[in-house]
């Protein structure tokens, strides 16, 4: 594609939760100089001109931005479809009504489990009750509701109950997304990666739920990369369909690319269009010419694009290597050993390193 159709606008990395699987950057202090309202308005205008159709407002917790309603209104005026990705802490009825009037199209609320004590323990703060209450407000105001649950060793056995909860709150869509091992999640990988038996059991439950709910609720189930024969396609191809703008204005082809040793590109220094077309962070792995073997000669190179560049870098130290998840990768043993260790331990309550709270004040 010549232009992106999706923008992930990470408005802030501040968050009231302390989830141990968070994939946001570890160096949060580097992102405290957040874009001002006028800067986000310009970013949205440039994104629309570039061809972006969807705008996902995320973080951290985007509700911590006092100017969120104004940002939503700007996106709506530009004709962008807007999706709020939120913990729902701070989504009071008055705030929700303001966002509805501003033109917000969709709400995605995360929950950590189906049972209050378990959910609150994983989230690192009492939050379950407020999440359920916010889901009710979302449905009452007529929004489509997606319930997102990050799955891992400590909650995947509850997937049937999680699906029951999504059904009870009237979700239109539920995302059961196994943990992606970036940021804080990588540090907690040993305590989060589920066993093969857990995954097999969950897949049976999900398959039955899809059949039972097919006319009422979409059920998306994402396997953990480490158990796949082939790697996931990197955002549909590096800098091909999506772009991310971080709280301080850095532009990336995906949310995890801040970890790569590539030159920085910022909307504070250049236009979004020029960054998309010319910045090294966007062109480094675009297409297939950069690929080494075995990717270069593989008939799947246009399907999975060599896998995840960020995962390749964090596991091998070289972002150009074949993603070690792939069974054809010369580095596949790095993943195989991790999987072997996960299956040698049947405990589901391994200790987690809690991610530090970084809520901060609301700002614009």
Q: What is the pLDDT of residues 162-202, one digit of tens each?
A: 999 999 999 999 999 999 999 889 999 999 999 999 999 99
What's the pLDDT at 357? Answer: 61
What's the pLDDT at 122? Answer: 93
What's the pLDDT at 28? Answer: 83
Q: Largest Cα–Cα distance of the chain, in whole Å? A: 56
Range from 146-155, 336-345, 354-363 carrying the lowest mean pLDDT: 354-363
What's the pLDDT at 257? Answer: 94
Say which residues have a Cβ less than 8 Å from residue 125's Cβ, sequence separation at least 6. 16, 17, 18, 357
CA neighbours closer than 13 Å in the CB half-sphere of residue 256:
20
Residue 358's pLDDT band (boundaries 50, 70, 90)?
A: low
Q: Are 57 and 9 in contact (CB under 8 A)?
A: yes
Residue 18 predicted with pLDDT over 60: yes
Residue 360 predicted with pLDDT over 60: no
Q: Are 200 and 153 in contact (CB under 8 A)?
A: no
Residue among 318, 320, 358, 317 nearest 25 (CA): 358
- Overall average pLDDT of the 249-261 stretch: 94
What's the pLDDT at 343? Answer: 96
What's the pLDDT at 362? Answer: 46
Higher-confidence position of 234 and 102: 102
What's the pLDDT at 364? Answer: 46
> Is 308 annotated as belonging to a binding site?
no
- Overall average pLDDT of the 38-53 stretch: 98
CA 149 from chain centre, in angstroms, equals: 11
- Overall average pLDDT of the 22-50 stretch: 94
- Quote the CA–CA distance of 111 and 150 in Å, as a whole number: 8
> Is 22 annotated as belonging to a binding site?
yes
What's the pLDDT at 26? Answer: 84
Residue 232's pLDDT band (boundaries 50, 70, 90)?
A: confident
- Which helix (DSSP H) or strand (DSSP E) does residue 122 occupy? helix 116-123
Range from 28-32, 165-169, 201-205, 292-296 carrying the lowest mean pLDDT: 28-32
Range from 109-123, 326-340, 347-361 carrying the lowest mean pLDDT: 347-361
> Is 234 annotated as belonging to a binding site?
no
What's the pLDDT at 355? Answer: 72
């Amino acid at each position: 594609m010549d232009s992106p159709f999706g923008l992930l606008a990470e408005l802030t990395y501040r968050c009231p939760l302390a989830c141990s699987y968070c994939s946001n950057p570890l160096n949060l202090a580097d992102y405290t100089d957040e874009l001002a309202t006028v800067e986000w308005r310009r970013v949205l205008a440039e994104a629309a001109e570039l061809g972006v159709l969807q705008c996902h407002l995320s973080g951290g917790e985007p509700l911590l931005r006092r100017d969120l309603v104004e940002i939503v209104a700007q996106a709506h005026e530009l004709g962008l479809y807007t999706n709020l990705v939120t913990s729902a802490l701070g989504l009071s009825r008055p705030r929700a009504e303001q966002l509805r009037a501003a033109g917000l199209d969709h709400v995605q609320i995360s929950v950590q489990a189906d049972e209050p004590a378990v959910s609150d323990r994983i989230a690192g703060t009492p939050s379950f009750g407020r999440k359920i209450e916010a889901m009710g407000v979302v449905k009452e105001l007529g929004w489509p509701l997606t319930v997102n649950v990050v799955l891992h060793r400590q909650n995947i056995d509850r997937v049937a109950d999680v699906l029951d909860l999504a059904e009870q709150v009237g979700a239109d869509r539920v995302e059961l997304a196994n943990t992606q091992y970036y940021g804080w999640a990588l540090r907690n990988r040993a305590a989060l990666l589920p066993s093969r038996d857990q995954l097999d059991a969950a897949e049976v439950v999900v398959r039955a739920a899809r059949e039972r709910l097919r006319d009422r609720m979409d059920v998306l189930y994402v396997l953990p990369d480490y158990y796949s024969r082939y790697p996931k396609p990197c955002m549909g191809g590096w800098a091909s369909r999506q772009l991310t703008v971080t709280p301080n204005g850095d532009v990336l082809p995906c949310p995890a690319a801040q970890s790569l040793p590539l030159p920085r590109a910022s909307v504070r220094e250049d236009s979004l269009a020029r960054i998309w077309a010319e910045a090294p962070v966007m062109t480094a792995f675009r297409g297939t010419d950069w690929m080494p073997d075995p990717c270069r000669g593989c008939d799947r190179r246009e399907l999975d694009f060599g896998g995840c560049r960020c995962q390749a870098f964090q596991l091998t130290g070289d972002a150009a290597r074949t993603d070690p998840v792939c069974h054809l990768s010369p580095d596949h043993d790095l993943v195989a050993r991790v999987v072997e260790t996960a299956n040698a331990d049947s405990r589901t309550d391994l200790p987690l390193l809690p991610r530090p709270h970084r809520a901060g004040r609301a700002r614009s």
